[in-house]
Copies of this chain bind each other. A is one copy, B any other.
């Protein structure tokens, strides 16, 4: 999204007044300053200045000074399977769209079909997360805010994604394997325990917790609404500040 700085608007105000006053002075001088004509002048002024204002606006349209973009960032949701990443990330994405920000959404489920040959072994997951990190960085570089949600259980590839981005905000959804198993609507944990998966985070592999994620949401003790507003409030205060 673009926004205009206050300095730009101050300059526009000075520039506008200069032209408008010169116009009035010329018209008044032309009509020799008679009071009776003042209303006529005012009337004329409405039309004269209206046109002038319009061309003045179009001229400023060519001037780029003071036009800025809200800085982009990567909002990376990470946590155990069934910790609620997708649901919370979807809602945060919608909230950011409502602020007229340029935002895109990347989820494991969207990205995997692009690379159908990618499996779930630690090596393959690391490669997959690195590619996702590249994708995020490519969008961010172009001014797009990215709301990404990937289990991304390994520090190595998550940190790689961080190094690719200009501004990386890690949102860690804190919970326990037991809570996730209770919540697990898709039955992934059950299948993992039954041996249908080989490398399931929380069952066969540990989720590696980052030392200092930017945001930690304790999903077992806050509601989804609270989680969303906690994240949006961080973004407003720490990243986009008063720019929108």
Contacts and interface: CB of A to CB of B under 8 A. Distances in A.
Interface of A: 2-4, 6, 9-10, 12-14, 16-17, 20-21, 24-25, 28, 33, 35, 38, 42, 45-46, 49-51, 53-54, 57-58, 61, 64, 67, 100, 102, 104, 114-115, 117, 131, 134-135, 138-139, 141-144
A228 to B, nearest CB: 23
A114 B114 CA distance: 13
A53 B17 CA distance: 9
Contact of A142 (B3, B13, B28, B142): B142
A102 B100 CA distance: 18
15 contacts: A2-B2, A4-B61, A9-B57, A9-B61, A13-B51, A13-B53, A13-B54, A13-B57, A17-B49, A21-B45, A21-B46, A33-B38, A35-B35, A142-B144, A144-B144
Contacts of A50: 13-14, 17
A74 B117 CA distance: 27
A176 to B, nearest CB: 35
A93 to B, nearest CB: 13
A9 B59 CA distance: 11
Contacts of A28: 38
Contacts of A131: 114-115
